[in-house]
Amino acid sequence: MSLNTTEINRLMNRFDSHASVWLFGYGSLIFKADFPFLERRPASITGWSRRFYQGSHDHRGTQEAPGRVVTLVPEDDAVCHGMAYLVTPEEFAHLDHREKNGYLRLAIEMTFGDGGTAEGIVYIATHENAAWLGPASERDIARQIAGARGPSGPNSKYLLELARALRALGKHDAHVQGIEAHLQEFLQSEKG
> What residues form DSSP beta bridges with 87?
21
Burial tier of 13 (Cβ tally within 10 Å: 0-12, 13-18, 19+): exposed
**Spatial contact of 42 and 79, defined as CB atoms under 8 Å apart:** no
Q: Give the single-character DSSP code of 38.
A: S
Q: Which of 7, 64, 90, 99 is catalytic?
A: 99
- Residue 109 known to be catalytic: no
- β-pairing verdict for 21-25 and 117-124: parallel
DSSP string, 8-73: HHHT--TTTTSS-EEEEESSHHHH---S--SEEEEEEEEEEEEEEEEEESSSSS-SSS-EEEEEEE
Q: Rounded to whole angstroms, how far apart are CA atoms 64 and 141?
A: 16
Q: Give the CA-trace dihedral at 154, 58, 84, 44, to 10 degrees.
A: -80
Q: Which residues are part of the catalytic machinery?
A: 99
